[in-house]
Amino acid sequence: MSSQSASTSNTDWPGRYHHIDQVLNSPGPRTDPAFLAGDGVKDFLRHQAKILVIGAGGLGCEILANLALTGFKDIHVIDMDTIDISNLNRQFLFRTKDVGKPKATVAAEFIMKRVPGVKVTPYFGKIQDKDDNYYMQFNLVICGLDSVEARRWMNATLVNLVDPENPESLKPLIDGGTEGFKGQARVILPTITSCYECSLDMLNKPTAFPICTIANTPRLPEHCIEWASVLEWPRVQGDKKMDTDDPEHIGWLFSVAAARAKEFNIEGVTWSLTQGVVKNIIPAIASTNAIISAACCNEAFKIATSSAAYLNNYFMLIGTEGVYSYTFEHEKRDDCPVCGGEALELTFSADLTVEGLIEMLVEKQDIQIKKPSLSSPKSQIYLQAPPQLEEATRPNLAKRVSELVPNGGEVTVTASTLPFSLSLRITYT
């Protein structure tokens, strides 16, 4: 591994980047004025840019290959999964011998072996294991994830990272996603454009069947599987947590669902359908992953080099009937809980009580707030309702704010009069 990174400079044989250099050697009619045609931009792309790829699965494999081939040389990749045999049809960096090994590690080794001079640093684990300092080192982040929860976390982390005093803290996030023949690629400039959380209401909700249908009138194999997982599992297994990655658990659900299906003369309950329903799997299509990954990497290349205008800001692809795509600007939401809302810097005496702070907020003409509830990232400070929580937090009213919030700390304020929330950053005099 170390010999490859050391040999970076002498692996750039003549003509290696012949085609890419066509784009980087000279400005075009619509390139950004800041574009440093020639060696400047090439040096940045090949020797300075540090890019993070989240996910080394269907999208991740494509993304890693594309980035390496377009000239990014310092790539990091995070993935918490190990390779399953069912991944091999489309996750082309993995072979049969790799089954059971961490995706991030195997993908990194494959790319480094295949594309000389590229350094890929894997991390086998969760994105949540890493702190702000870790994310701060990158210029760009590309997500190829299959989970809403992980995307929300990554998005919120990058939005929170933005420090008004430090331009380097703003990390463009390129998010790719696919579902069967549909996909999307988007560019998020944290705090500037709409963020992932802004568009949460656009998500299709996972298919869910009315619980009474599952309980009484099953007609589809899916109904039987849902019956096994939603109703029978908690009834029979009690508090035992269902692990959808545990073959024994899937096996149990499968046999319970199959018995139910037999009783109602329903056909089609299989092991793989059981797994698909409980893990909410939508069949992955290799070509959709390839298109979306290409779009994401194209954006990464344009943002890193300023060689062309980047996507503003949402590209969607619908390949279910023919090929249809549409690009539009998704708008930022003022009431977005992550990037919207107001922020206020407050400076007051370390002797001010919580009650005093509340009075101060209510009296502020510019924010028009009534009955504010306050909390810090660690705990509730004062909640106006429900009665029990009001009572539990009431003793805090007499306390000094400085006992509950450190200097420079943050307080989240909610009130029915606010679109969503207000965050306070507190400095004591």
* Residues from 10 through 39 that contact other proteins (CB under 8 A): 32, 34
Does residue number 139 form part of the binding site for other proteins (CB under 8 A)?
yes
Q: Tell me how far apart the alpha carbons of residues 118 and 202 are, in angstroms, rounded to a whole number.
A: 37
> Do 157 and 135 touch, CB atoms closer than 8 A?
yes
Q: Which strand (E) or helix (H) includes residue 410?
A: strand 410-414
> Beta strand pairing status for 74-79 and 50-54?
parallel
Residue of the chain from 80, 88, 215, 281 that contacts other proteins (CB under 8 A): 215
**Residue range at the interface with other proteins (CB under 8 A); choices 14-22, 57-65, 323-331, 389-397:** 389-397
Distance in Å, CB of 207 to other proteins, minimum? 8
Q: Kindly give the residue spans of alpha helices, DSSP state H, lying in 7-130.
A: 18-24, 39-43, 58-70, 103-114
Q: Single out the residue of 4, 21, 101, 152 in contact with other proteins (rule: CB under 8 A).
A: 152
The three-state secondary structure class of 67 is helix
Per DSSP, helices labelled H in 147-285 are: 148-161, 211-216, 221-226, 233-237, 247-263, 271-278
Is 100 an interacting residue with respect to other proteins (CB under 8 A)?
no
| Contact code string over 390-409 relative to other proteins, x by CB under 8 A | --xx----------------
Minimum CB separation of residue 158 from other proteins in Å reads 11
Helix (H) or strand (E) holding 133: helix 132-136
Please state the length of the chain.
429
Examine residue 238 and tell whether it contacts other proteins (CB under 8 A): no
Choose which of 27, 37, 44, 367 interacts with other proteins (CB under 8 A). 44
Residues 311-350 that bind other proteins (CB under 8 A): 337-339, 341-343, 345
Task: Choose among 175, 177, 178: nearest CA to 196.
Answer: 175
Residue 261 found at the interface with other proteins (CB under 8 A): no
Q: Is 212 a catalytic residue?
A: yes
Among 167, 204, 267, 365, binds other proteins (CB under 8 A): 167
Considering beta carbons, is residue 149 or 363 the nearer one to other proteins?
A: 149
Residues in contact with other proteins, counted by CB under 8 A, come to a total of 72
Does 194 bind other proteins (CB under 8 A)? Our answer is no
For residue 209, list its beta bridge partners.
none
Assess 164 for contact with other proteins (CB under 8 A).
Answer: yes
Kindly state the tokens that stand for 14: 């003549």
CA 269, chain centre distance (Å) = 33
CA distances from 369 to 34, 121, 349, 415 (A): 44, 48, 21, 7
Which residue out of 212, 296, 297, 339 is catalytically annotated?
212
Residues 263-292 that bind other proteins (CB under 8 A): none
By CB under 8 A, tell whether 355 contacts other proteins: no
Structure tokens at 391: 């009572």
Catalytic residues: 212
